[in-house]
Amino acid sequence: MPVTPENAAAPALTGDCANCFGLCCVALPFAKSADFAVNKPSGTPCRNLQEDFRCGIHTELRTRGFSGCTVYDCFGAGQKVSQVTFGGQDWRTAPGTAQQMFDVFPVMRQLHELLRYLTEALSLRATRSIHADLRRALEKVERLTEGGPEELAALDVAAERAEVNVLLLKTSSLVRATAGRKTKSRRGADLIGAKLRGADLRGADLRGALMIAADLKGADLTLADLIGVDFRDADLSGADLTRSLFLTQPQVNAAKGDAATRLPKGLSRPAHWTR
């Protein structure tokens, strides 16, 4: 099914673990840290992965030291690789496909992330002047996701990201201009632990900013470009993100918030947030 602004929140662009072969639990490595209780190399199943490809401690991930798992989303790449690229054949019953499947998964994840951003860009009135270009880019990326395992594994995904990024930057400029104010660029800024309570960040360019543990209580992030912002442990209690740009569920999951935090349509309030 083609991705359009109308189905941006459809299962195609969100993880569906029931139709995935636990790919993020096997293909991806993680190191023992505050986010993960143990070390795990790429290609090795997580010790909590069950035979049915479900997580054995899904409801206890945070308390058992696996909070990193709760902030991850594949944007639908897992089920795409499992059910489309490999036609429903899993790596356990067909071990000869395992390594190729694990190699393809991160490529597909990046392509699906691009689909997520392009779909959002197409849904915005401010980007009408570049809608044709955005549609062409979206259709191209979608075609790439339909490729076979060999094509996907050989894909220069960095080049595809760079090409799409040109349009995402144009989208950002057009959207932020509607805020009607000039703002200092904070792209890639080190704002770790920054005291930004109640800050007026309307129309701000915060691309790739490090906002780990920042105090953003009551901040106004209307029309702010949040693509790639690291919100781990940032406090978004009472913050307004309803019209922010390129905010994703993994970013929200990594942050702290409360019942007063305002999120864009299509994003959910994490269970660990205070009520």
Asked if residues 219 and 242 have their Cβ atoms less than 8 Å apart, the reply is: no
pLDDT tens digits, 141-197: 999 999 999 999 999 999 999 999 999 999 999 999 999 988 888 999 999 999 999
What's the half-sphere exposure (Cβ side, CA atoms, 13 Å) at 260? Answer: 10
Alpha helices in 24-148 (DSSP H): 67-70, 77-80, 98-122, 131-145
- Residue 274 confidence (pLDDT) above 80: no
Q: pLDDT class for 12, splitting at 50, 70, 90?
A: confident
* C-beta separation of 86 from 27 below 8 A: no
Q: Which residue has the tokens 């190191």?
A: 31
The pLDDT assigned to 11 comes to 52
Instruction: Give the integer Cα–Cα distance in Å for 229 and 217.
Output: 16
Same domain flag for 115 and 19: yes
Whether 82 and 171 share a structural domain: yes
Residue 194 carries which side chain, given as an amino acid letter?
Answer: A
* pLDDT at position 140: 98
111 and 38 assigned to the same domain? yes
- Residue 4's pLDDT band (cuts 50, 70, 90): very low
Percent of the chain with pLDDT over 70: 96
- Asked if pLDDT for residue 5 goes beyond 80, the answer is no
pLDDT digits (tens, 9 = 90+) for 35-82: 999 999 999 999 999 999 999 999 899 899 999 999 999 999 999 999
Same domain, 38 and 51: yes
Q: Tell whether 81 and 189 lie within a shared domain.
A: no
Q: Do 200 and 68 lie in a common domain? A: no
| Same domain flag for 215 and 192 | yes
On whether the CB atoms of residues 192 and 212 are closer than 8 A, the answer is: yes
The residue out of 148, 176, 204 marking a domain boundary is 176
Judgement on whether residues 169 and 268 belong to the same structural domain of the protein: no
pLDDT value of position 184:
83
Q: What's the confidence (pLDDT) of residue 159?
A: 97
Give me the sign of the Cα torsion angle 160, 162, 167, 171. Answer: positive
Q: Tell me: the pLDDT tens digits for 223-257? A: 999 999 999 999 999 999 999 999 999 999 999 99
Q: Is residue 164 packed enough to be buried (19+ CB in 10 Å), middle (13-18) or exposed (0-12)? A: buried
Please name which of 65, 92, 89, 76 lies closest in space to residue 10, comparing C-alpha atoms: 76
Amino acid at 81: V
Considering 135, 153, 176, which residue would you say is the last residue of a domain? 176
Q: What is the CATH number of the domain that holds 260?
A: 2.160.20.80
168 and 187 part of one domain:
no
Q: What range does the domain containing 242 cover?
A: 181-275
What distance in Å separates the CA atoms of residue 202 and residue 110, rounded to the nearest whole number? Answer: 28
Q: Which residue has the higher pLDDT, 186 or 4?
A: 186
User: Of 157, 176, 195, which one is at a domain's C-terminal end?
Assistant: 176
Q: How confident is the model at residue 2 (pLDDT cuts 50, 70, 90)?
A: very low
Q: Give how many domains the chain has, as a whole number.
A: 2
**Residues 16 and 65 reside in one and the same domain:** yes
d(CA 136, CA 144): 12
One domain, residues 146 and 207 = no
The whole-chain average pLDDT of the chain stands at 93
Q: Are residues 132 and 48 in the same domain?
A: yes
pTM of the predicted model as reported, rounded to 2 decimal places: 0.92
